[in-house]
Amino acid sequence: MFLKYIALLSITFSLSCSDSIDDIDMSKIDFSNIEDLHAQPLPVIQKCVEGKWQWTEISTWGIVGGFRLTHTFVDITKDNVIVTQNGYDPANLADRFSYSWKKKKTLSDYTSYVMWNNEQKMGKWYFDKIQNDSLYVLFYNANGGGYNNSSLFLRVK
């Protein structure tokens, strides 16, 4: 009897911790405003970040401060990221990579899903929050000052 109880308890626990999209009522989520996006299940994070974005800002904590961007765009699909520039910006950020998701401890001292650059075999970004279709993006790896850079992406309608 005790073994049946333990088995039932472990099945219940594993189902309650699932990140399956089938376990989440996606119709009740406002995907344009999630304060703790970093703490959400993977299907919610994926739904929030996929799409077309304008990369408007980079903050380089601990080094120089940061800069604004006006001509840099990010297209995040189910398994690829394409960064394009249609004019001059202070940094050349054009890039293209496939990605997967890995659950990792971050420099922000919490565990979250990290967008993993498959070609470079390293973490790229994790996503802190989304407010009014503004996505707050943190770089997974530390910069030269030991901090992680942050960025702001605005959803392109």
The DSSP element (H or E) to which 16 belongs, if any, is helix 2-16
Rounded Cα–Cα distance for residues 43 and 17 (Å): 13
pLDDT digits (tens, 9 = 90+) for 18-43: 455 567 888 888 988 999 999 999 99
149 compared with 49, residue with greater pLDDT: 49
CATH 3.10.20.90 for domain 33-155, yes or no, is: no
The DSSP element (H or E) to which 49 belongs, if any, is helix 42-49
pLDDT digits (tens, 9 = 90+) for 64-94: 568 899 999 999 999 999 999 999 998 889 9
The domain locations on the chain are 33-155
Residue 13 in this model has a pLDDT that exceeds 50: no
Ramachandran category for residue 13: left, alpha or beta (phi over 0 → left; psi -120 to 50 → alpha): alpha
pLDDT digits (tens, 9 = 90+) for 114-123: 999 999 999 9
DSSP-derived 3-state class of residue 95: strand
Instruction: State residue 40 phi and psi, 5-degree precision.
Output: -85, 160
Task: Name the pTM for this structure.
Answer: 0.81
